[in-house]
């Protein structure tokens, strides 16, 4: 039992330590968390063991296989949790936590640090990203991260219970045909031409210039 | 003891006033050290402002400002009571290109005012960053000289 306790405690500590969201926490709070999860004592002890077992069961090692699809973001809309639910959007894990107001829906997908920070921030906005996937389908995903822009390439990850959206390199959003037809230099040349054309359209637009489309092209090809 | 209670109640009252009173802050693409004026048409600047606001502010609260230059306003909330009004505008300005000639363009300003700085502050930072990124991608930047009017 002692060995098992050590293993789950270590697992929990590693997961907290590796959390990409740890930087969002204050140093004091991080220390407090590490004390709670790594060096528990008294009444907290049993709770911590139960939590660690839960964390171990939900760890990536035993999690179901995650499906990943890549696509470009074609629209961003700030919405509310109720609206996102009413419109049957895919709800990301952290947004899912906000939507359901319960830990059960999101605990496995979210790190403890970010969950606590999100609750503390009390920011109830949900960001609905419309993506054009590589097979031409459109998906709208509601998550509470605000940092993905129109034209950016993003990965839509999902398993049986959770949805996650994260920005990735534009390489993942090149279609197979375009990669085969114009590998390397030709493709870059084509992108540079499109970037120049979009810039020209924006700095000296004509009467019929579609400014929205030119901005999208610029964001996609000039970055 | 009575003096202590009086002091504590005054301290609490002061803290409460501080918490519920509105405050404001402004971020700009130019400051005392200079910055860039973007020589872009008003329609393009207007669309950039709208895109940046739409990606951060609930669209149902979004509205145009009353200034004669491109400006949008919207609201963000913190909890159920605190609200910040976010405004993003493009002020006409004069810039100087590398060849020394002067060009007309715009400078971006984003500000917040209200009782929800926890939401408002990071929001205006992200909006200005988006505007700055878009404007830089156009390659139309010129060194700030002065505001136009």
- Burial class of residue A52 (count of CB atoms within 10 Å of its CB; 0-12, 13-18, 19+): buried
The predicted pLDDT at position A37 comes to 52
Q: B41-74 burial, b if ≥16 CB within 10 A, otherwise e?
A: beebbbbbbbbbbbbbbbeebbeeeeeebbbbbb
Q: What is the pLDDT of residues A147-206, one digit of tens each?
A: 788 888 888 888 777 788 888 877 788 765 555 555 555 666 677 888 888 988 998 888
Enumerate the residues of chain A whose CB falls inside 8 A of the CB of residue B95: none
Task: Report which of B126, B119, B75 is spatially closest to residue A123, judged by C-alpha positions.
Answer: B119
Q: Tell me what the mean pLDDT of segment A205-218 comes to.
A: 87
| Distance in angstroms (rounded) separating the CA atoms of residues A115 and A100 | 13
B23-71: pLDDT as tens digits: 899 999 888 778 889 999 999 999 999 999 998 999 899 999 998 999 9
Q: What is the pTM of this model?
A: 0.56
> Using CB atoms, which residue from B51, B126, B133 is nearest to A146?
B126
Residue with tokens 């969002």: A24
Q: Strand, helix or coil at B109?
A: strand
Interface mutation vs chain B, best among A202, A216, A219, most B CBs within 10 Å = A202
Q: Where do we find the tokens 């540079």?
A: A192
User: Is the confidence at residue A121, as pLDDT, over 90?
Assistant: no
More confident residue, A10 or A65: A65
Verify whether the Cβ–Cβ distance B44 to A127 is below 8 Å.
no
Beta-carbon pairs below 8 A across chains A and B: 73
**Is residue A21 pLDDT above 90, yes or no?**
no
More confident residue, A210 or A151: A210
Residue A59: per-residue pLDDT: 47
What is the arithmetic mean of pLDDT over B91-115? 93
Q: Which residue has the higher pLDDT, A46 or B25?
A: B25
Residues in chain B closer than 8 A to A124 (CB atoms): 77
Quick one: pLDDT at residue A208? 84
Q: Which of A78, A127, A205 sits opposite B41 (nearest CB)?
A: A205
User: Distance between alpha carbon B136 and the CA centroid of its chain, in Å?
Assistant: 18
Q: DSSP letter at A133?
A: E
**pLDDT tens across A89-99, in order?**
887 765 444 44
Residue A110, pLDDT above cutoff 90: no
Confidence of residue A223 (pLDDT cuts 50, 70, 90): confident
Find the CB nearest A150 among B40, B51, B118.
Answer: B51
C-alpha A25/C-alpha B5 separation (Å) is: 35
More confident residue, A195 or A5: A195
- A54-58, A157-161, B133-137: segment of lowest average pLDDT: A54-58
Most confident range (mean pLDDT) of A50-59, A117-126, B25-34, B121-130 is: B121-130
Residues A90, A92, A95, A96: what is their CA dihedral angle, to the nearest 10 degrees? 80
Q: Which residues contact A93 (CB under 8 A, 6 or more apart)?
A: A105, A106, A108, A109, A110, A162, A163, A164
Q: From 3.30.310, 3.30.420, 3.10.129, 3.30.1330, which CATH number describes the B22-147 domain? A: 3.30.310
pLDDT of A102 over the 50 cut: no
Chain B residues whose beta carbon lies within 8 Å of the beta carbon of residue A146: 55-56, 126
- The residues that bridge with B35 in the sheet, in sequence order, are B30
A219 and A149 in contact (C-beta within 8 Å)?
A: yes
Instruction: Give the pLDDT score at B97.
Output: 86
- Looking up tokens 């959770």 gives A162
Is residue B145's pLDDT more than 80? yes
| Minimal CA separation from B5 to chain A, in Å | 31
Q: Judge contact between A134 and A175, C-beta under 8 A.
A: yes
Inspect the interface and report whether the beta carbons of B43 and A218 lie closer than 8 Å. no
Q: What is the pLDDT of residue A104?
A: 44
pLDDT of residue B42: 95
């Amino acid at each position: 039992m002692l060995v098992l306790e050590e293993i789950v405690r270590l697992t929990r500590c590693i997961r907290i330590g590796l959390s990409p969201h740890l930087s969002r926490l204050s140093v004091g709070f991080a220390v407090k968390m590490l004390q709670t999860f790594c060096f528990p004592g008294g009444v907290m002890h049993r709770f911590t063991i139960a939590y660690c077992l839960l964390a171990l069961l939900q760890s990536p090692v035993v999690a179901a296989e995650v499906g990943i699809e890549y696509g470009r973001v074609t629209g961003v809309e700030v919405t509310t949790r109720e609206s996102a639910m009413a419109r049957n959007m895919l709800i990301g894990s952290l947004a899912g936590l906000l939507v359901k107001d319960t830990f059960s829906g999101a605990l496995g997908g979210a790190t403890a640090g970010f969950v606590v920070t999100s609750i503390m921030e009390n920011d109830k906005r949900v960001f609905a990203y419309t993506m054009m996937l590589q097979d031409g389908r459109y998906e709208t995903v509601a998550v509470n991260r605000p940092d993905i822009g129109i034209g950016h390439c993003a990965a839509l990850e999902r398993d049986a219970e959770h949805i996650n959206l994260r920005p990735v390199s534009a390489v993942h959003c090149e279609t197979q045909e375009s990669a085969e037809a114009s590998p390397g230099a030709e493709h870059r040349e084509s992108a540079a031409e499109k970037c120049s054309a979009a810039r020209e359209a924006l700095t000296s637009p004509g009467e019929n210039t579609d400014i929205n489309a030119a901005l999208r092209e610029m964001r996609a090809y000039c970055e | 003891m009575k003096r202590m209670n009086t002091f504590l109640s005054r301290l609490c009252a002061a803290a409460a006033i501080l918490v519920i009173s509105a405050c404001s802050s402004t971020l700009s693409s130019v400051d005392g050290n200079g910055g860039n004026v973007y020589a872009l048409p008003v329609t393009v600047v207007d669309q950039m402002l709208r895109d940046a606001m739409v990606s951060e502010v609930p669209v149902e609260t979004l509205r145009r400002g009353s200034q004669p230059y491109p400006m949008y306003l919207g609201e963000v909330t913190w909890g159920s009571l605190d609200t910040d009004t976010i405004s993003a505008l493009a002020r006409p300005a004069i810039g100087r290109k590398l060849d020394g000639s002067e060009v007309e363009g715009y400078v971006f300003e984003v500000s917040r005012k209200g009782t929800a700085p926890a939401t408002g502050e990071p929001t205006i930072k992200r909006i200005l960053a988006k505007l700055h990124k878009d404007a830089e991608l156009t390659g139309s930047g010129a060194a700030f000289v002065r505001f136009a009017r």
